[in-house]
């Protein structure tokens, strides 16, 4: 992002990206509690008014995503039941729609494991080598872009992530940890405007999308 501060604290419309994201989650009636994983070197979190919200608790972030999410799950263990649902969401996805969270709940309410939001690939997909020379075209009919929230049964996700950490597996999201643990994970179609802010041009795009929700 070419920024002196972490991207989740960059501002859109007068508030940090993280505040926008948390407010969208807090406004959903079925989300009861949020655990935010914060780095031990973070200098910005405590400056946010939302840090004092009664539905938000904080835990230590980890070296990688899997460590941070596992820390958050462990921080919830006294207030959650083994079969309860937990949602894992990227701090820099502030455009999550309430209706997409509804769709996630409705689709997965009786599912034994859980699933995640995503959108089906629409572009032609190519696989290239290390020199960016195309090797072949990948059929896109069954390809998805994986988004968040990702929603799983508490005990199953905790066990899968603990196993991934113990084994030293690098998993890029919670769904991969669940897959490697042998679980069948469900894709749930959401909206493509649930973007992850990764590079500078994403700021303007997120601001445009968020303005449509007003």
Please name the helix (run of DSSP H) or strand (run of DSSP E) that holds residue 203, with its range, or none: helix 201-211
Provide the pairing of β-strand 144-153 with 114-120: antiparallel
pTM above 0.85, yes or no: yes
Q: pLDDT tens-digit profile of 25-55?
A: 999 999 999 999 999 999 999 999 999 999 9
pLDDT of residue 214: 57
Q: pLDDT tens-digit profile of 76-89?
A: 999 999 999 999 99
**Inter-residue contact 94 to 187 (CB < 8 Å):** no
CA distance 43 to 95: 25
**DSSP-derived secondary structure for 157-191:** HHHHHHHHHHHT---SSHHHHHHHTT---EEEE--
- Where are the strands (E) in the chain, listed by range? 11-12, 15-16, 34-38, 56-60, 85-88, 114-120, 125-128, 134-138, 144-153, 186-189
- From the DSSP assignment, how many helices (H) and strands (E) are in the chain? 6, 10
Neighbours of 129 (CB within 10 A): 8
Tell which residue, 212, 1, 214, 209, has the closest CA to residue 94. 209
Neighbours of 143 (CB within 10 A): 13
pLDDT of residue 87: 98
Q: Hey, what CATH topology would domain 7-211 get? A: Spore Coat Polysaccharide Biosynthesis Protein SpsA; Chain A (3.90.550)
Can you list the residues of the chain whose pLDDT is less than 50?
Answer: none
């Amino acid at each position: 992002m070419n920024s002196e501060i972490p991207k989740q604290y960059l501002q859109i419309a007068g508030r940090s990206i993280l505040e926008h994201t948390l407010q969208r989650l807090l406004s959903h009636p079925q989300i009861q509690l949020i655990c935010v994983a914060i780095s031990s070197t973070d200098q910005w979190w405590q400056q946010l008014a939302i840090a004092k919200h009664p539905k938000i608790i904080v835990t230590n972030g980890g070296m990688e995503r899997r460590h941070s999410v596992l820390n958050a799950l462990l921080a919830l263990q006294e207030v959650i039941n083994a079969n309860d649902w937990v949602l894992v969401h990227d701090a820099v996805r502030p455009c999550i729609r309430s209706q997409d969270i509804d769709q996630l709940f409705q689709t997965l309410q009786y599912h034994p494991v859980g699933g995640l939001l995503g959108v089906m690939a629409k572009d032609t997909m190519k696989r290239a080598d290390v020199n960016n020379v195309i090797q072949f075209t990948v059929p896109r009919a069954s390809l998805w872009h994986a988004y968040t929230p990702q929603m799983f049964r508490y005990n199953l996700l905790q066990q899968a992530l603990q196993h991934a950490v113990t084994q030293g597996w690098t998993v890029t999201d919670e769904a991969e940890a669940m897959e490697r643990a042998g679980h069948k994970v469900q894709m749930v179609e959401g909206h493509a405007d649930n973007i992850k802010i990764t590079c500078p041009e994403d700021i303007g795009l997120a601001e445009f999308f968020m303005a449509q929700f007003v």
